[in-house]
Amino acid sequence: MVLAPLDEGPDAADLVEALLLACESDEGGDTHRRRPGWSTPTFETAPPIQTFATASEAVHGNVPVVLLLRCGKTRKSDLARAVELLTEAGGKIGGGVLICRDAEEATAAWR
């Protein structure tokens, strides 16, 4: 999979790193642990999806693109634009990951 933040900023790389660390960790309780025999997924990273050029860069090898969303920061219009750009570039959306800074932010996101 390809991980792609939607916006630039000093913490765009931090979003990717946080997700990669979470995938490698065995912490988080039984529901968050990898099953025996399952390996850590392999991810590539892409620049923030803001133009057709960056969307095209993210789309290669017929690999799905997972969009990284920042809780309280990513706007619906930015998400819609990224999906449009990736679709125009011939990409497949593999889903989205909502990155929250803490439990309070995560709780607020689901209200």
30 in a structural domain: no
85 in a structural domain: yes
53 in a structural domain: yes
* Secondary structure element (H or E) that encloses residue 94, with its range: strand 93-99
**pTM reported for the whole predicted model:** 0.73
Nearest-angstrom CA–CA distance, 91 and 102: 31
8 in a structural domain: yes
Within its chain, how far is the Cα of 80 from the centroid? 15
33 in a structural domain: no
Which tokens in the block code for residue 52?
Answer: 């057709």
86 in a structural domain: yes
Within its chain, how far is the Cα of 92 from the centroid? 13
35 in a structural domain: no
Please check whether residue 51 is in contact with residue 9, taking contact to mean a CB–CB distance below 8 angstroms.
Answer: no
pLDDT digits (tens, 9 = 90+) for 23-79: 666 554 444 455 666 666 677 888 889 999 999 999 977 789 989 888 888 888 999
Total domain count, the chain: 1
CATH of the domain at 55: 3.40.50
51 in a structural domain: yes
Question: How is residue 39 annotated by DSSP?
Answer: P
- Give me the domain span that covers residue 75: 2-23+40-109
